Amino acid sequence: MDGWREITNVDGHKVEIVAKDVTPPAGLLKLFFLNLRGYKQNEFEEFHYKIVIAAMDKGEAINSAKQTAFFQHTGFPGANAHIDDKYGVDVDDVYEIADILPAQVKQKYRILVCSAKEDSAYDDDIHLGYFKLSAFNKNCRSLHTSKLNFSSLIPPARSL
């Protein structure tokens, strides 16, 4: 694995994992993960930018992604920037993060995206490098003994 992030804040909203029986507030935002792709003229490369967005629905998430500097500045006539391979699951659609969680997790927990307090508007740490999943799983268990073990949410690798 090349990187990971424990998501606690998205777009100035607090993200919490709560028991399934907790009643969500009306107008609850959802989390979306998008893999943006784009091109730069005279460079033989497809560039990627991964983003987590808090939005009411898929359409709003896509519109927000199209407002990013990456989407605006990677592309030119004949090679437009595009949203592709959402979650690495399907190349033709956008999925809500809750949709790709394992069934046993969805039975016990839900994701709440709440309005953030002024003092909680911060960026989560992004951990980059080469991480062996076996070491990552071990570290998550020791770091999150009182929380949901997020490593259990990682879907198994799929062969192409």
Q: Residue 94's pLDDT is what?
A: 64
What pLDDT does residue 54 have? 92
Instruction: Please give the pLDDT value at position 55.
Output: 92
Query: Helix H segments across 27-160?
Result: 58-65, 69-73, 103-108, 133-143
Which is higher by pLDDT, 19 or 96? 19
The proportion of the chain whose per-residue pLDDT surpasses 90, expressed as a percent, equals: 13
pLDDT at 32 over 50: yes
pLDDT at 157: 43
Band (pLDDT 50/70/90 cuts) for residue 30 is very high
More confident residue, 126 or 141: 126
Tens of pLDDT, residue by residue over 40-85, are: 888 898 888 888 899 998 889 888 888 888 888 887 888 877 775 4
In this structure, are residues 35 and 86 in contact, taking their beta carbons and an 8 Å threshold? yes
pLDDT of residue 59: 86
Q: What span, in angstroms and rounded, lies between the C-alpha atoms of 5 and 24?
A: 24
pTM of the model: 0.73
Retrieve residue 110's tokens: 């839900």
Beta strand 30-38 pairing with 9-10? unpaired
C-alpha radius of gyration, the chain, whole number: 17
pLDDT tens sequence across 78-120: 887 777 544 433 333 467 888 888 899 999 999 999 876 665 5
The domain spans of the chain are 3-153
